Amino acid sequence: MHIRQLLWKMLSGTLTGLRLRASDKEIIKLEKFVITGGKPLHGEVTISGAKNAAVGVLPATILAADVCVIENLPDISDVAVSLKILSVLGAQIKMINRNTYEIDTTHLTGTNVPDDLSRQMRASYYFLGALLSRFGKAQVAMPGGCNLGPRPIDQHLKVFSALGAEDSVDYGMITVRAKEMKVFSALGAEDSVDYGMITVRAKEMNGAHIFFDKVSVGATMNGMLSAVMAKGQTILENCAKEPHVVDLANFLNMCGANIRGAGTDVIKVRGVEKMHGCTYSIIPDQIEAGSYMVAAAATGGDVLVKNVTPKHLEPITEKLRRAGVEVEEFDDAVRVRRTGDILPLKINTMPHPGFPTDMQPLMGVLLSVAKGTSTVTESVWDNRFRYVDELRKMGANVQVDGQVAVFEGVDKLTPAPLRALDLRAGAAMVVAALMADGTSEIEEIGHIERGYENIVEKLRGLGADISKVERMPAALDQAL
């Protein structure tokens, strides 16, 4: 039984008579972070592999139809779910160590991704592109992931159909074609989309020329996945240029694909007949690195952030420097130090190489204590200021009007009970709690653990007072 159903029954007093198994106890434990802030972070932290690259590379191993060894995988729940999906599809998976897995996709037995798994993360849509490319068909339930406002997939379907696939999105009662998707989502059909099932099928995949109407990381990566074995050349225009897009292209090329231009607006994919396995190491996580950089700055600390690609961090480094923070770049590390005030900034989130939307909530927390007024414009997602309500509980002075938030800097944040509303909003609350003198508790931390490996240990290594506490609601504990 799902935790929400259980909790609802508990709260509504209808728990009596429920027959629960001992293992349910595991599922319904509520976990939270308890953080006593006010101390500058000091020391060194090592950044893990990039979540958003790993969740593309893992489905891409399907195309190799061979043995791949993937190194530097972050030990996070989105990776665990991706590995589980591969295993359900028939891949043989061997754990070499906590961050390295051998994946043999020679003999796969299925092309349908189980609903419960695909709904656990956004990136399950990459299985559509990979399975379609290798087997000519795939079915994935409408992906889950953070609630950042409408998350349409029309550009993914556009690329699949241009390459020759038929697609259908089953909303429960109605089946709509790709072109109609835009209209449905514009009309606010988000809820019904959540229960949808996406099916793609192709007799033959042929190269095509596709211009994306919107710059999309997911559609660009799915474009490459679905085109690598299509006949002839595919040209993708108006592509996303994020480091994880380049990482996926590098992995696919090491497996024998012929992809040029990843990291620019135009990607050219010449279809190959067969691919093979390889050993590949995932790039460092740009957003995890940026999160520790902001945490160092926000607490007035001095932290060496190791195992990073400083070039990928430039949009973040540039803003931190403008805010008065010292950032020193090395070959594969950055040192972040703050001694003075935080200066106010103007930030506008944009696709790479613009300021990343995933850093926006973290930067918002930093600007909440800047000396003056900052303006933050969110240009990628419709609903990424939900963390502001949590931040207000800590005394922040923020006004949100549509896609723009105005931060009037306050002297300090005060501790409060907080919620992690999504992955990056949750990370932002961790930073806010580290800044506040006193003890804050953060609930719903499962969101944070989807994207940050070992966050408690890493922050403790920097001197933070943070612990993860597991507790069971008293009424439920008695019932079990």
Nearest residue to 46 via CA among 307, 254, 435: 307
Residue type (1 letter), 151: R
Kindly tell me which residue out of 167, 247, 285, 358 binds ligand EPU, with binding defined by CB under 6 A: 358
SS3 annotation, 173-195: CCEECHHHHHHHHHCCCHHHHHC
How distant is the alpha carbon of residue 408 from its chain centre? 29
Interaction of residue 177 with ligand EPU, rule CB under 6 A: no
CB–CB of 349/380 below 8 Å?
yes
Instruction: Output the smallest distance, CB 217 to ligand EPU, in A.
Output: 4
Work out which of 32, 119, 151, 241 binds ligand EPU, going by CB under 6 A.
151
* Size of residue set near ligand EPU by CB under 6 A: 25
Considering only residues 216 to 275 of the shown chain, the ones binding ligand EPU according to CB under 6 A are: 216-219, 240
Using CB under 6 A as the binding rule, whether residue 214 contacts ligand EPU is answered as: yes
CA dist 459 and 468 (Å) reads 12
Amino acid at 401: D
The residue annotated as part of the active site, out of 146, 239, 255, 278, is: 146
Angle at the Cα of 121 from the Cα atoms of 29 and 61, rounded to 5 degrees:
125
Is 346 one of the binding residues for ligand EPU (CB under 6 A)? no
* 312-331 binders of ligand EPU (CB under 6 A): none
Site for ligand EPU in 5-44 (CB under 6 A): none
Nearest residue to 132 via CA among 212, 209, 57, 198? 198
Query: What distance in Å separates the CA atoms of residue 433 and residue 458, rounded to the nearest whole number?
Result: 16
Q: Which is nearer to ligand EPU, 133 or 357 (CB)?
A: 357
Smallest gap from residue 273 Cβ to ligand EPU (A): 29
- What is the identity of the amino acid at 133? S
Burial of residue 110 (number of CB atoms within 10 Å: 0-12, 13-18, 19+): middle
146 is catalytic: yes
CB of 451 to ligand EPU, least distance (A): 6
Give min distance, CB of 406 to ligand EPU, in A.
22
Please state the closest distance from residue 330 (CB atom) to ligand EPU, in A: 25
**And the tokens for 98?**
């906590």
Q: Looking at 207-297, which runs of residues are DSSP E strands?
A: 209-211, 233-237, 258-260, 267-270, 279-281
Amino acid identity of 466?
Answer: I
**CB-based contact 216:157 (threshold 8 Å):** no
Pick the piece of the chain touching ligand EPU (CB under 6 A) from 36-44, 64-72, 143-151, 277-285: 143-151
Work out how close the CB of 239 gets to ligand EPU at its nearest, in angstroms, rounded to a whole number: 10
Structure tokens at 333: 């590390």
Q: Which of 41, 54, 64, 123 binds ligand EPU (CB under 6 A)?
A: 123
* Residue 122 makes contact with ligand EPU by CB under 6 A: yes
Give the one residue of 152, 223, 243, 271 binding ligand EPU; rule: CB under 6 A. Answer: 152
Q: 182 or 393: whose CB is closer to ligand EPU?
A: 182
Examine residue 353 and say whether the peptide bond preceding it is cis (omega within 30 degrees of 0): yes
Taking contact as CB under 6 A, which single stretch among the options 17-25, 63-71, 152-160, 253-261 is the one that binds ligand EPU?
Answer: 152-160
Alpha helices in 171-268 (DSSP H): 178-186, 190-194, 217-227, 243-254
Which is closer to ligand EPU, CB of 415 or CB of 426? 426
Which member of 70, 108, 153, 178 binds ligand EPU (CB under 6 A)?
153
Of 381 and 385, the one with the shorter C-beta distance to ligand EPU is: 381
Three-class SS of residue 61? helix
Q: By CB under 6 A, is residue 52 in contact with ligand EPU?
A: yes
Residue of 124, 133, 139, 155 interacting with ligand EPU (CB under 6 A): 155
Structure-token pair, residue 78: 């989105």
List the one residue from 32, 156, 312, 447 that touches ligand EPU (CB under 6 A). 156
User: No. of H helices and E strands in the chain?
Assistant: 19, 24
Active-site positions? Answer: 146
- What residues line the site for ligand EPU (CB under 6 A)? 52, 55, 122-123, 146, 150-156, 214, 216-219, 240, 357-358, 380-381, 423-424, 451
